[in-house]
């Protein structure tokens, strides 16, 4: 019951176009919300976690394919995606994303970090 190749390719192209903006948006939020002094540590930790869980996810996917079959594995993955996506609707941390970031991450008019330079002008 597989769809024709052209239909499957079309769906994959649409999915890729829809998912394209996700990584730049995530990177932008990370740059805005993580304090400058911690960015190296935070981004390094995120990268390390990503590198660790990727092969674990592949191994788990292979195991599930062998144990419960393709259809059940895909349904389980879809359920996980749906759960994570719906959890974003009730996540309080996402409510303030439209607000300017606090403190040192606020950019000044020239794209530089807004700090106490404006207060120093009058001194």
Look-up of token digits 């911690």? 38
Please say if the pLDDT value at position 33 is more than 90. Answer: no
**Nearby residues of 115 by Cβ (< 8 Å), 6 or more positions away:** 104
Q: What is the pLDDT of residues 50-109, one digit of tens each?
A: 999 999 999 999 999 999 999 999 999 999 989 998 998 888 877 777 777 666 555 555
Q: Please tell me the predicted confidence (pLDDT) of residue 26.
A: 86
- Residue 100 contacts residue 23 (beta carbons within 8 Å): no
3-state helix, strand, coil in the chain (%, to 5): 75, 0, 25
Residue indicated by tokens 């990268």: 47
Say what the pLDDT of residue 120 is: 47
């Amino acid at each position: 019951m597989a769809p024709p190749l052209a239909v499957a390719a079309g769906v994959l192209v649409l999915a890729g176009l829809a998912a394209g903006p996700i990584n730049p948006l995530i990177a932008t939020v990370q740059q805005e919300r993580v304090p400058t002094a911690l960015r190296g540590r935070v981004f390094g930790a995120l990268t390390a976690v990503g590198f660790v869980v990727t092969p674990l996810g592949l191994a788990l996917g292979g195991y599930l394919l062998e144990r419960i079959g393709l259809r059940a594995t895909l349904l389980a993955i879809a359920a996980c995606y749906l759960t994570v996506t719906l959890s974003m609707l009730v996540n309080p941390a996402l409510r303030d994303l439209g607000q300017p970031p606090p403190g040192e991450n606020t950019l000044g008019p020239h794209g530089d970090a807004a700090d106490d330079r404006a207060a120093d002008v009058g001194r």
